[in-house]
Amino acid sequence: MEILAFGVQSDEKPLIEKAFAGHHDVRCLDVFLNEDTAPIAAGYEIISTSVNATLNNRVLQTLAAGGTQMIAQRSTGFNNIDLEVAERLGLTVSRVSYYSPYSVAEFAWALVMAVNRRIVRASIRTRDFDFRLDGLMGRDMRGRTVGVLGTGKIGEAFTRIAHGFGMNLLGWDVAENPECVALGMKYVDKEQLFAEADLISLHVPLLPSTEHIVDAAALRTMKDDAILINSSRGGLVDTKALVAELREGRFTGVGLDVYEAEAGLFFLDKSLDVVEDDTLARLVTFPNVLVTSHQAYYTVDAVGQIIEATVKNVLDYQAGRRSENVLVPAVS
Ligand SMILES: NC(=O)c1ccc[n+]([C@@H]2O[C@H](COP(=O)([O-])OP(=O)(O)OC[C@H]3O[C@@H](n4cnc5c(N)ncnc54)[C@H](O)[C@@H]3O)[C@@H](O)[C@H]2O)c1
C-alpha cells in the first residue's frame, strides 16, 4: 500500500522512507494539508500530516469522501484537528504522544540564552567587524526566579535545566509534578508566577482554557525586565497585546518559537512575498525579540522518534490494535 505524507521537510524524507521500508511505500509531499491540498489525498486510505496541517470540517469531509480512513499526525499537539468531526466521519486519527521532551526544552533554553545574552545581535556585529559591547549586557540566571507554566514532560525537562542554573523554581499547572516538587519547585497561582518570575516559559497545551493565557493583563503584571519564552503553541499569547507592551520598551527579551497566526507562514519560504501580517512584521523589528519558526522539536532524535511512532501507529491501525496514540475513535 502507498501512504501519502503531507508537510515533509527535505531532511525528514529519507528518514520517513527508511522507516516505512518493508511495510509500505510513501509518497512524500512538501505541501501542507489544507483545503486546497486535501483533494490530493483522494484514493489514499492512510495519510500522514504535520503539525501545521489544517484538519477542519471541510478538509476532513474532503478526505473522507476521497476514501481516507486513517490520519497519522506526526506531532504531540492536535489542536489543529477537529476530532468531533473526524469521529463522526468514522476516521481513525493518531498522534505521537511521546518523543524527546529534551528537544523542545533545550531549544527553549537556547531562546532564553540567545535573548538574554544578545547572541544574535552580537553575531551580526562581529560579522560586520563591530566589536563593541554596548547594548549587549545580559544577566546571570543563577539566583533568579523562573516561572514554568505547564510542568508536564517538556516543562519538567525545562525545569531540570533551570535547576542546573541554580534558579528559584515557580510552577503553575492543574496537577503538581512530584519530580518538579523534588527539585524544589513551588506551585503558585499564575498571577503570582507572572508577577514574581524573571523568566517565564510556557509549556501548557493550547486549549480553550489556556488560549491567550498570556493576555494584556498578564503581560502588565510581569516585571519590566522579565524574559518571556513561548515554545508551546502560538495561541497561548495575545501577540497584539505583546507588541503593545514591547512598544513601551518592556522586557529584557522575548523568544517565540510559535506564533498564533503561523499557519501558512512557518515552514515556508516567504522571503520574496509582500508581508501581509503587520503584527509579525512589527514583532520581528524589536531588538529584544527573537522569533523562530516552530523548530524546537527539530532534532534528529525527536524527529526519528516521531517517525518511528508514526509507522507503529499505522501498523497498529492496520492490525486493529488500540494504543495511547489513538485520538479517535475514542475508547468507549
Ligand atoms: N515548539 C515545538 O516544536 C513543540 C513540540 C512539542 C510540543 N510542543 C508543545 O508543548 C506542549 C507541552 O508538551 P508536553 O509533552 O510537555 O505535554 P504534557 O502533556 O506532558 O504536559 C502538559 C502539561 O500541561 C498541563 N495542563 C494541561 N491542561 C492544563 C490547563 N488547562 N491548565 C494548566 N495546565 C494544564 C498538564 O497537567 C501537563 O502537566 C504541547 O501541548 C505542545 O503544544 C511544542
- Please tell me what DSSP assigns to residue 237: B
Cα distances (angstroms) measured from residue 144 to each of 139, 147, 253, 284, 331? 9, 10, 15, 27, 45
Q: How far apart are CA 10 and CA 8, in angstroms?
A: 6
**Residue 303 CA to chain centroid, in angstroms?**
13
| Span from the CA of 203 to the centroid of ligand 1 (angstroms) | 5
| Span from the CA of 143 to the centroid of ligand 1 (angstroms) | 26
| pLDDT tens string 151-209 | 999 999 999 999 999 999 999 999 999 999 999 999 999 999 999 999 999 999 999 99
Are 14 and 37 in contact by the 8 Å Cβ rule? The answer is: no
The residues annotated with a catalytic role in the active site are 233, 262, 294
> Between β-strands 92-94 and 2-5, what pairing exists: parallel, antiparallel or unpaired?
unpaired
In this structure, the residue with its CA closest to atom 30 of ligand 1 is 174
Residue 263 banded pLDDT, cuts 50, 70, 90: confident
Long-range contacts of 177-186 (CB under 8 A, 24+ apart): 177/151, 177/152, 180/148, 180/151, 180/155, 180/156, 183/159, 185/148, 185/151, 185/159
What DSSP string describes 24-58? -EEEE-SSPPSTTTGGGGTT-SEEEE-TT--B-HH
Out of 158, 173, 191, mutate this one to test ligand 1's pocket (max ligand atoms within 8 Å of CB): namely: 173
14: exposed, middle or buried (C-beta count within 10 Å: 0-12, 13-18, 19+)? Answer: exposed
Alpha carbons within 13 angstroms on the beta-carbon side of residue 74 total: 27
**Is 50 near ligand 1, meaning CB less than 6 Å away?**
no
| CB proximity list for 313: less than 8 A, separation 6 or greater | 72, 94, 95, 96, 323, 325, 326
**Is 133 near ligand 1, meaning CB less than 6 Å away?**
no
pLDDT of residue 332: 58
Q: Tell me the mean pLDDT in the region 123-130.
A: 98
**Is 48 near ligand 1, meaning CB less than 6 Å away?**
no
pLDDT of residue 330: 84
| CB proximity list for 314: less than 8 A, separation 6 or greater | 3, 20, 23, 24, 46, 48, 70, 72, 94
> Between β-strands 168-172 and 145-149, what pairing exists: parallel, antiparallel or unpaired?
parallel
pLDDT of residue 264: 86
What's the predicted TM-score (pTM) here? 0.93
pLDDT of residue 78: 92
| pLDDT tens string 237-255 | 999 999 999 999 999 999 9
Alpha carbons within 13 angstroms on the beta-carbon side of residue 314 total: 28
Q: Report residue 171 as a C-alpha cell.
A: 510552577
**Is 264 near ligand 1, meaning CB less than 6 Å away?**
no
| pLDDT tens string 64-119 | 999 999 999 999 889 899 999 999 999 999 999 999 999 999 999 999 999 999 99
Out of 78, 174, 200, mutate this one to test ligand 1's pocket (max ligand atoms within 8 Å of CB): namely: 174
